[in-house]
Amino acid sequence: MTKNVLVIGLGLIGGSVALALQKAPQVKVIGYDAFIQTRAMAKTLQVVHEVVDDPKLAAEKADFIIFGTPVNATLDWMDKMQTWTLKSTVIVTDTGSTKSLIMEKAKELQAKGITFIGGHPMAGSHKSGITAAKPHLFENAYYMLTPHAEELEENIEKLETLLKYTHGKLVRVNAQEHDHMTAVVSHFPHIVAASLVHQLYQENAQFPMTSSIAAGGFRDITRIASSNPLLWRDITVQNREELIGQLEQWLKEMDAVKDLLQEGDVALIEQYFAMAKEVRDELPISAGAFYTSFDLYVDVPDYPGVISEITGYLAEDNISITNIRIVEAREDLFGILVISFQNEDDRERAVKCIARKANFETYIS
């Protein structure tokens, strides 16, 4: 029998879940978004099978309800849905970046007989909105579920059976531990990225050339500062206790770095960077803890047709690319072409292919 899946919030994440679940057999994906333009776009882009203007009515027939909304909006919907008439077997989940407050609110639903199992796919982007949604966004990424300890195994398995069509790696995690770990690897880094951009803004007032010379390093570390501010306002507010803890640890770390610099012990300074490199290089990229794109930087001279020349070489060797863009990092004749691949193997083949067929230098960041 066909299962109705209602997705509320059709942006990057809700839209990507909807697209992925359209591939599940006997599933009808119904979508709602607060913005009428997004609802219209969802129809045009066929992100869902059907768009509704009233989620309450659609919820009555739903077998699964998935929130793709900013985390504070999810809490509001969880309040509202307590008065809705839902199927007794419905399973409600979310995709929010925070879990503790949402799982706390879920107890109110649970008390009314509504099953809620928190969810969070560890993949995303600084881009937002339905036009950024992709069916393969969650492939190989960890997709965390945070069921209450007393949740029925049968319900968790039902949700896992549906979500396996995202091709994420489904794992079960305690909500508080989730919020601690995501503060470390996701939420706090967003604060650091934003703070670096603030620092540049202040410096730029005195040295206006500073932002023009910001090259790959600054751009890499601050990419996530281009994320949706409303989304990050909600995430940081909900997880602020963990974030204050991270900030205190960071301030201690910065004090230690300050001491290192003041002492000027070159061996210790080198050791500081060496240890960071070792840990960073060992991050389990293929395990998909983070959304990984295998980027290759190619130094290209600026002449017409250079991009099609390179993509042509790759096509001749049957190497698929997932993205291509130009980084205007320098003010000379050369540009940096960034080509993304699906996996390490494709990237290595591309390095060899470009070395064989062209004289362009390639780098891996």
Ligand X SMILES: O=C(O)C(=O)CC1(C(=O)O)C=CC(O)C=C1
Ligand Y SMILES: NC(=O)c1ccc[n+]([C@@H]2O[C@H](COP(=O)([O-])OP(=O)(O)OC[C@H]3O[C@@H](n4cnc5c(N)ncnc54)[C@H](O)[C@@H]3O)[C@@H](O)[C@H]2O)c1
Site residues (vs ligand Y, CB under 6 A): 8-14, 33-35, 38, 68-71, 73, 95-97, 120-121, 124-125, 128-130, 228, 231, 235
Among the residue ranges 117-125, 153-161, 325-333, 341-349, the one whose residues contact ligand X (CB under 6 A): 117-125
Cα separation of 353 and 317, whole Å? Answer: 7
Cα separation of 363 and 299, whole Å? Answer: 8
Number of neighbours of residue 142 by Cβ within 10 angstroms? 18
CB of 46 to ligand Y, least distance (A): 16
CB closer to ligand Y out of 42 and 314: 42
By rule CB under 6 A, what string of x and - marks binding of each residue 47-86 to ligand X? ----------------------------------------
Contacts of 340 (CB under 8 A, 6+ apart): 293, 294, 295, 296, 321, 322, 323, 324
CB closer to ligand Y out of 189 and 358: 189
By rule CB under 6 A, what string of x and - marks binding of each residue 288-317 to ligand X? --xx--------------------------
Cα separation of 309 and 305, whole Å? Answer: 6
Q: Which amino acid is at 305?
A: G
362 φ/ψ angles, rounded to the nearest 5 degrees: -120, 150
- Could you say which DSSP state residue 131 is in? G
Using rule CB under 6 A, residue 340 touches ligand X: no
- Could you say which DSSP state residue 183 is in? I
CB closer to ligand Y out of 99 and 362: 99
By rule CB under 6 A, what string of x and - marks binding of each residue 126-155 to ligand X? x-----------------------------
Using rule CB under 6 A, residue 168 touches ligand X: no
Instruction: Report the partner that residue 84 touches, choosing among ligand X, ligand Y, none (CB closer than 5 to 8 A by kind).
Output: none
Cα separation of 291 and 122, whole Å? Answer: 7
| Total site size for ligand X, rule CB under 6 A | 11
Using rule CB under 6 A, residue 122 touches ligand X: yes
Query: Taken in order 24, 30, 36, 41, is the CA torsion positive or negative?
Result: positive
CB of 1 to ligand Y, least distance (A): 28
Q: Which amino acid is at 334?
A: F
CB closer to ligand Y out of 36 and 287: 36
CB closer to ligand X out of 74 and 227: 227
CB of 291 to ligand X, least distance (A): 5
Cα separation of 221 and 274, whole Å? Answer: 18
Cα separation of 151 and 54, whole Å? Answer: 29
Cα separation of 15 and 22, whole Å? Answer: 11
Contacts of 244 (CB under 8 A, 6+ apart): none
Instruction: Report the partner that residue 290 touches, choosing among ligand X, ligand Y, none (CB closer than 5 to 8 A by kind).
Output: ligand X
Rounded (10°) CA dihedral 23, 24, 26, 29: -70
Instruction: Report the partner that residue 73 touches, choosing among ligand X, ligand Y, none (CB closer than 5 to 8 A by kind).
Output: ligand Y
Contact positions vs ligand X (CB under 6 A): 97, 122-126, 186, 224, 227, 290-291
